[in-house]
């Protein structure tokens, strides 16, 4: 069977609820390797909910559907406040990235309580803003930023990562709607240790199996490079 599109590989999947410090319940899912302990954890932060982003946005859904089996990764997905998906609707209302700091903290509390190893924040679009703003407050190994728009993140918040021991991997589509590789090099110049990965032919939404595989490969290269190359077929 070719691994593509909506294919979901075997994993231990659990519907979860996250409790925020300001009293909200967020819905989500944890996916774990079927027959092994995870070697690292992806805490995913979805695109802008007011533009259709949610925990099932396709790259995050495919990461949860494939990477527990292909790379021994735990993948935590959840809807930020006020966001709906087939899993359900999280309490509260969208707050433009402000109160969502509590949502990130609730996810990291869950990771700590479950003893999940080596957590990374994986943000896509709006999710990168949350990772950049609040990731430094938590015990993580690094951040992976897919298509960062840098709309809500200030230059000072980006520069605050300079000298941080935690890794920053920034995956920039060649034809992004908001931030293309040349401008990204300028905007992230304040973080000299950041790894910028320009993707030829890439677009903000990473549509198509070729772009999906490239993004998942870059994620695994950062978190568990021993699992590369990722298989394209499953028996």
Query: Tens of pLDDT along 10-38?
Result: 999 999 999 999 999 999 999 999 999 99
216 — phi, psi (to 5°)?
A: -65, -35
pTM: 0.98
* pLDDT for the residue numbered 126: 98
pLDDT in single tens digits along all 235 residues of the chain: 999 999 999 999 999 999 999 999 999 999 999 999 999 999 999 999 999 999 999 999 999 999 999 999 999 999 999 999 999 999 999 999 999 999 999 999 999 999 999 999 999 999 999 999 999 999 999 999 999 999 999 999 999 999 999 999 999 999 999 999 999 999 999 999 999 999 999 999 999 999 999 999 999 999 999 999 999 999 9
Omega before 229 within 30 of 0, i.e. cis: yes
Domains of the chain: 12-227 (3.40.50.1820)
- HSE on the CB side for 14, CA within 13 Å? 12
| Long-range contacts (CB closer than 8 Å, 24 or more residues apart) made by 204-213 | 204/125, 204/147, 204/173, 204/175, 204/176, 204/177, 204/178, 205/147, 206/58, 206/59, 206/146, 206/147, 206/173, 207/58, 209/4, 209/5, 212/4, 212/58, 212/59, 212/62
Measured at the alpha carbon of residue 68, what is the angle toward residues 65 and 73, in degrees to the nearest 5?
130
**CA nearest to 132, candidates 111, 96, 156, 110:** 156
Average model confidence (pLDDT) for the chain?
98
What would the pLDDT profile of 113-142 be if each residue is shown by its tens digit? 999 999 999 999 999 999 999 999 999 999
Instruction: Quote the distance between the C-alpha of residue 167 and its chain's center.
Output: 14
Helix (H) or strand (E) holding 129: helix 126-134
CA distances from 132 to 68, 145, 149, 182 (A): 25, 9, 11, 20
* pLDDT for the residue numbered 90: 98
* Three-class DSSP category at 178: coil
* Three-class DSSP category at 11: coil
DSSP 233: B
Instruction: Quote the distance between the C-alpha of residue 43 and its chain's center.
Output: 6
DSSP 2: B
Q: Could you tell me if 140 and 166 are in contact, meaning their C-beta atoms sit under 8 angstroms apart? A: yes
The sign of the torsion formed by the CA atoms of 129, 68, 208, 222 equals positive
């Amino acid at each position: 069977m070719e691994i593509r599109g909506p294919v979901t590989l075997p994993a231990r999947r659990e519907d979860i609820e996250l409790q925020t410090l300001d009293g909200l319940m967020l819905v989500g899912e944890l996916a774990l390797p079927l027959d092994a302990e995870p070697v690292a954890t992806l805490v995913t932060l979805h695109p802008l909910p007011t533009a259709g982003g949610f925990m099932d946005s396709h790259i995050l859904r495919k990461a949860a559907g494939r990477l527990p089996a292909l790379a021994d990764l735990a993948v935590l997905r959840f809807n930020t406040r006020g966001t709906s998906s087939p899993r359900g609707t999280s309490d509260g209302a969208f707050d433009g990235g402000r109160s969502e700091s509590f949502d990130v903290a609730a996810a990291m509390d869950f990771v700590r309580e479950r003893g999940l190893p080596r957590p990374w924040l994986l943000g896509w679009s709006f999710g990168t803003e949350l990772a950049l703003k609040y990731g430094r407050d938590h015990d993580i190994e690094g951040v992976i930023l897919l298509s960062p728009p840098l709309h809500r993140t200030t230059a000072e918040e980006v520069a605050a990562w300079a000298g941080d021991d935690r890794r920053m991997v920034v995956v920039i589509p060649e034809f992004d709607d908001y931030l293309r590789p040349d401008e990204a090099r300028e905007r992230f110049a304040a973080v000299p240790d950041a790894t910028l990965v320009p993707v030829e032919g890439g677009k903000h939404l990473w549509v198509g199996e070729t772009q999906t595989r490239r993004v998942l490969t870059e994620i695994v290269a950062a978190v568990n490079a021993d699992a590369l190359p990722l298989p394209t077929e499953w028996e």
